Amino acid sequence: MDKKVKIKICVGTSCFVQGGSDLLLYNDFIDPEIIEKCDIEGISCFNACKGHENGSAPFVMINDKIYGDMTPEKLNKIVIEVYHARNK
């Protein structure tokens, strides 16, 4: 059985105002075949916005790894890569 990709989009204020709000429209930009293999939820601020080695807000966690400077294009790309890496 396929292993789902767990995506948590930060909906805290810093992330939300710096582009996180666009990421919540994930149905518009994540590959439809992949999206049904993902569990996607909003998550409150987990303090990465206070300073994190993986970039700046907006942050997303994908299978518990933190990614910063997230954009819709980047999120789609990473999710596809992570999905294929987990389901080889």
In the complex, which residues of this chain contact ligand FES (CB under 6 A)? Answer: 10, 12-15, 45-49, 57, 59
48 vs 79, beta carbon nearer ligand FES: 48
Rounded Cα gap, residues 4 and 73, in angstroms: 20
**Residue 9: CB minimum distance to ligand FES, A:** 9
55 vs 86, beta carbon nearer ligand FES: 55
State which residue has the least CB distance to ligand FES: 12
Burial of 39 (0-12, 13-18, 19+ CB in 10 A): exposed
**Residue 69: CB minimum distance to ligand FES, A:** 12
16 vs 83, beta carbon nearer ligand FES: 16
**Residue 17: CB minimum distance to ligand FES, A:** 9
Q: Which residues lie closer than 8 Å to 64 by C-beta, 6 or more apart? A: 6
Closest by Cα among 28, 3, 23, 2 to 11: 23
